[in-house]
Amino acid sequence: MNALQDDVITPQQAGTLHGLFVERARRSPDKVAYHYFQQNDWRDITWREMLGEVARWQAALAGLQLQRGDRVAIMLRNCPYWMMFDQAAMSLGLVVVPLYTVDRPDNVAYIVNDADVKVLLFENDEQWQALRTVRDQLGSVKRFVSIDRLRDSAEPRLKCMDEFLPKTAQLQVSSPLPTPLPMPSPQSSPASGRGGERERQSSTPAGEGANDPLRGICSNELASIIYTSGTTGKPKGVMLSHANMLINAHACLGFFLVNENDTFLSFLPLSHTFERTVGYYLSVMAGAKVAFARSVAQLSGDLHIIRPTILISVPRIYERIYGVISAKLEESSPLKRKLFNLAVEIGWARFLHQQGRGTWQASFLLWPVLQKLVAQKVLDHLGGRLRVALSGGAALSPEISRVFIGLGLPVIQGYGLTETSPVISGNHPENNFPDSVGQPIRDVQVKLGEQNALLVKGPNVMMGYWNNPEATKAIIDADGWLNTGDVVRISETGHIYITGRIKEIIVMSNGEKIPPSDMELAILNDPLFDQVMIIGEARPYLVALVVLNPEAWKSFAREVGVRADMPEAMTDSRVEGKVLKRIALDLRGFPGYANVRRVLLMQEPWTMEDGLLTPTLKLKRNKVVEQFATQIKQLYERH
């Protein structure tokens, strides 16, 4: 591990996630903590000011006479209020339940009921109108709190923030734990069926004894319940302790250094564990500034304004950027396309040479010119200051990694699960194998289980699933090994390569086995396609459901000789034939039996709102099949 900066707060120094926040405010009181957009202007807030605001939230929550261990929920976009509420709640021993702002009301109601949430913080009237449709299912909630003032305030449990918070307050700080953090044990968690620790704590009112070290918050206490947005079935509540996330964030600093001069651009939802641990707690640990993007739609503009040095993202964002680049290249002159491809080729060769896996080449002498003419112009669209771009949450196509790395942007792919706080492994900038998900982070053990499933053990492994001991036992064995369900191979260098999912293998009627995710990634490298899903379980051949990129489709339709705005173009045999040829070209690296024979073309994207994507933008395969069952049936009828 590289030497960390002196100002990095260790898990031992922090003790708890709230202890981490207090220690950062003590060390850097007048430095800017967060940069955010409000009332048509960008604003800053310092650590000292954050401390004062957290005190107000703490006093308001303490006034509700909640019990230690009670659950409170956050349903906000990324903003300083998210951190204020989170820190105030944890300082009182309350358990934070993050909710996605775009989640369906019925799903929110399920989570609120399952976690027995007592306080729900949300943002605006639009969210309230959605919550009102399931208000009768939210009986556990003692207080709804809205950031904005609402038109309809007839609900007696509802308060706007201005009414809820006192004007001033003094922060009550529980003592950080001074001793080394022990490894959390899933066997002693509430989900195991014992639950003694949670029951013992619940007898202490949340506002009492905050300055008494004997009654302070312990690192192994439950800090948060994060509901997985599983692609099938009801979401499960992942229980993470303070130690889980503190140790995980600190271990990540062994792969990429962060200091007080760095700026993160935060746009992944904080309800996503990747953003929360790495983009939130890690930045506090290192003293870096975080700027909150206005929205994903405005991300391009925010990159220009904020000019971040570190970017945390899921592959879908890199795919979109790559798609824009590809579309522009198709409209460019042959010379520009040749220069771009040359820059990527030479840049990639330079990367391999710098990694010690390639020889020096005379073509490297062209790099200063190619960097100025090509690479820097692309990187300027990302702000021009990025020194590292992290990708996690799903597999990033090696082809896309190659393009960005070739242009000089160090893309670091990592891997993890909500159940592991979340990071399991990551590539080091100086030992980067982009087609892998890197090596295990510090203190995390990995091994292969049955069917080459990756098993993980370490201080990042969750306490268990909330109110679900059966599911906990199904994923964590008696020795503490968590089965990720991902099929992997581990190289001699210790790098992990994801080769598939145990439950995401298509077995065709002829017995051939197909990894749909790998095929979908290959097809998505084509700028014509925005979304894709492969179907073929127990079928004689494969079909693809694809959502077309609007701009690329217009150009493609002109080539075929059809009108892009005509609905019947989606079923035109000429269009289908040319699309299938294009998909076949995209899949040329796969075995011959991995051949897509039919395709269903669409223009309307699959979204979270229509229930076809999870909040982390993963396909809900069963839902997609269910919604398009009639069309899928027709694709097989002619066989």
Say which CATH number the domain at 132 has: 3.40.50.12780
Rounded distance, CA 96 to CA 89, Å? 7
Range ranked top by mean pLDDT from 247-261, 315-329, 590-604: 247-261
What is the pLDDT confidence band of residue 234, given thresholds at 50, 70 and 90?
Answer: confident
Mean pLDDT of the residues in the chain: 89
Is residue 261 one of the residues assigned to a domain? no
More confident residue, 282 or 256: 282
Rounded distance, CA 528 to CA 523, Å? 9
pLDDT reading at 331 higher than 90 = no
What is the pLDDT confidence band of residue 178, given thresholds at 50, 70 and 90?
Answer: very low
- Residue 541: the pLDDT is 87
Q: pLDDT digits over 530-578, tens only? A: 999 999 887 888 999 999 999 999 999 999 999 999 889 999 999 999 9
Q: Average of pLDDT values for 118-136?
A: 95
Asked if residue 255 lies in contact with residue 411, where contact means CB atoms within 8 angstroms, the answer is no
Q: Given 241, 268, 283, which residue is the final one in a domain?
A: 241
Task: Please give the share of the chain, as a percent, with pLDDT higher than 90.
Answer: 71
- Residue 467: the pLDDT is 95
Among 176-180, 511-515, 538-542, the least confident range: 176-180
Among 57-61, 224-228, 537-541, the least confident range: 537-541
Rounded distance, CA 255 to CA 498, Å? 19
pLDDT reading at 580 higher than 60 = yes
Total number of domains constituting the chain: 2
Among 204-218, 304-318, 386-400, 584-598, the least confident range: 204-218
- Residue 171: the pLDDT is 87
Rounded distance, CA 374 to CA 529, Å? 25
Q: pLDDT digits over 608-626, tens only? A: 888 888 877 788 888 899 9
Is residue 49 one of the residues assigned to a domain? yes
- Which sign, positive or negative, has the C-alpha torsion 490, 257, 84, 150? negative
- Residue 399: the pLDDT is 86
Rounded distance, CA 338 to CA 332, Å? 10
Identify the bridge partners of residue 416 per DSSP, sorted by sequence position: 423
Is residue 572 one of the residues assigned to a domain? yes
What is the pLDDT confidence band of residue 639, given thresholds at 50, 70 and 90?
Answer: low
Q: Given 225, 241, 257, which residue is the final one in a domain?
A: 241
- Give the residue among 396, 114, 420, 428 at the shortest CA–CA distance from 256: 428
Is residue 64 one of the residues assigned to a domain? yes
- Residue 199: the pLDDT is 35
Is residue 284 one of the residues assigned to a domain? no
What tokens were used for 582?
């294009």
Q: Which residue has the tokens 């080394």?
A: 180
Task: Please give the share of the chain, as a percent, with pLDDT higher than 70.
Answer: 90
Return the CATH number at 632: 3.30.300.30
Give phi and psi for 58, each to the nearest 5: -60, -45
Q: How far is CA 379 from the centre of its chain?
A: 23
- Residue 196: the pLDDT is 34
pLDDT reading at 232 higher than 60 = no
- Residue 590: the pLDDT is 76
CA-atom Rg of the chain in angstroms: 25
What is the pLDDT confidence band of residue 138, given thresholds at 50, 70 and 90?
Answer: very high
Is residue 305 one of the residues assigned to a domain? no
pLDDT reading at 290 higher than 90 = yes
What is the separation, in whole angstroms, between the first and last Cα of the chain? 57
Is residue 450 one of the residues assigned to a domain? no
- Which sign, positive or negative, has the C-alpha torsion 334, 336, 339, 345? negative
- Residue 52: the pLDDT is 96
- Which sign, positive or negative, has the C-alpha torsion 52, 56, 61, 63? positive
Is residue 594 one of the residues assigned to a domain? yes
Q: Given 241, 273, 302, which residue is the final one in a domain?
A: 241
Q: Is the peptide bond before 205 cis (omega within 30 degrees of 0)?
A: no
- Residue 230: the pLDDT is 54
Q: Average of pLDDT values for 428-439?
A: 95
What is the pLDDT confidence band of residue 107, given thresholds at 50, 70 and 90?
Answer: confident
- Residue 5: the pLDDT is 55
Q: Average of pLDDT values for 332-339?
A: 94
| Domain around 587 | 506-637
This prediction has a pTM of: 0.81
Helices 573-586 + 516-524 axis angle, to 10: 110
> Residue 5: which residues within 8 A CB-CB, separation 6 or more?
257, 259, 260, 286
pLDDT reading at 504 higher than 80 = no
